[in-house]
Amino acid sequence: MTIENSSQAKVFGGWHKQYTHQSNVLNCAMKFAVYLPPQASKENPVPVIYWLSGLTCSDENFMQKAGAFKVAAELGVAIVAPDTSPRGEGVADDAEGAYDLGLGAGFYLNATQAPWDKHYHMYSYIVDELPALIEQHFPVTPAKSISGHSMGGHGALTIGLKNSEQYRSISAFSPITNPINCPWGQKAFSHYLGNNIEDWKAYDSVELLKHNKATLPILVDQGEDDGFLQEQLKPELLVAAAKASGSDMTLRMQPGYDHSYFFIQSFIEDHLRFHAQFLTA
């Protein structure tokens, strides 16, 4: 698998780099960004935190707005930020250009319904193809953790829970915890997966935790002033499911914080340090 460097900038002694490559899983060209801390070298490979962004975002949002590089450089961890959906000519999009379906809204699942099933296999991309690419081309170890925001928080939780052997820890900011019971999830899942709700449950963290104890530590931060809290995010259902299965999950409700990257900036250091303790153990 080949990659092409499209931009790079030195930051806190390390490098932020953006790449393009042809994805066999998604059947299109894709972008991703990587931050390599100053410690990273062939002789000293470093662990990786994968960051999954939310609706309307790309690989650029976290890298430009989260303020994560100083702490990542201190801890000696790489960060990889993929795009949030397949893109390009011929990739299906919502006919009305809605922000919560189609481009920028891949929901980190494998679509089974036409026309989405031709390209929308973000689950397999994140779980299999992208890590193989990263480990082939960069000085990183197989040790990795996963995190994300909103739709990406949903992705981080479900992917981490379903692939616990591949990750050391999971975290999320403002995750869509129970997509089968919220408007964002119901709209996307009905298009991508069809109308059988049993099929939806495979990509729902509340449903996954109800039936299986998490084997990885989980940290979730949620702003109390998040405008999407009641209708879309429903963290109380995640807490109930984790408690019922005896899972190791910490939910921190943060007074005054909303759904924005100001919220992420405020607590990203906590999340990086949370992951680092398991990645470097």
H-helix or E-strand spanning residue 220: strand 218-223
Per the structure block, which two tokens stand in for 37? 């801390």
Question: CA separation (Å) from 168 to 47, 144, 265, 275, 281?
Answer: 10, 6, 23, 8, 10
β-pairing verdict for 249-254 and 14-23 = unpaired
* Cβ neighbours of 76 (radius 10 Å): 17
Among the listed residues 59, 204, 221, 226, the single catalytic one is 226
Cβ atoms of residues 151 and 176 within 8 Å: yes
* Residues sharing a CB contact under 8 Å with residue 48, sequence separation 6 or more, in sequence order: 77, 78, 79, 80, 131, 134, 140, 141, 143, 144, 145
100 part of the active site: no
* Catalytic residue of the set 16, 154, 259, 275: 259
Q: Can 23 be counted among the known catalytic residues? A: no
Alpha helices, DSSP H only, in the chain? Answer: 60-65, 69-75, 122-124, 130-137, 151-162, 183-193, 197-200, 205-211, 235-245, 261-279
Catalytic option among 53, 145, 147, 150: 150
User: How many residues make up the chain in this entry?
Assistant: 281
* 271 assigned to active site: no
Q: Which residues are catalytic?
A: 150, 226, 259
